[in-house]
Amino acid sequence: MKVSDIINSLDLELLCGQSGIENEITGGYVSDLLSDVMGNAKEGQVWITLQTHKNVMAIASLKDLAAVILVKGFNPDEDTVKQSNQEGVPILRAKENTFEIAGKLFQLL
């Protein structure tokens, strides 16, 4: 499954990082603790979080994650958007909270 597939299936809003929408998805990871993601997320996973600052994209890029889903309609910071575009790691916005969107993604994968 690709990032573009989950955008359609889960009705997510593609905010930035368009060049990464063909990234292949291997799974998902849910955490708002950055060093937890650093230690435990795996390449190709989609990271669901409520953190909106730029370091999210640094971590997503260093770990080669497929995409980041921001929950509850949150807005990424301006420099977060910039880095998402530079690195080609898409940020997708969900209306749902973490529990709901993680459940939907889990079922889809």
Binding positions for another protein, rule: CB under 8 A: 32-36, 38-39, 43, 49, 51, 53-55, 58-59, 61-64, 79
Q: What gap in Å lies between CA 65 and CA 63, rounded to an integer?
A: 6
User: Rounded to the nearest whole angstrom, what is the least distance from the CB of residue 16 to another protein in the complex?
Assistant: 18
Nearest in space to 17 (alpha carbons), one of 73, 67, 63: 67
User: Rounded to the nearest whole angstrom, what is the least distance from the CB of residue 70 to another protein in the complex?
Assistant: 13
CB closer to another protein, 49 vs 84:
49
CB closer to another protein, 6 vs 23:
23
User: Rounded to the nearest whole angstrom, what is the least distance from the CB of residue 55 to another protein in the complex?
Assistant: 6
Cβ within 8 Å of residue 32, ≥6 positions away: 49, 50, 51
H or E stretch at 93:
strand 91-93
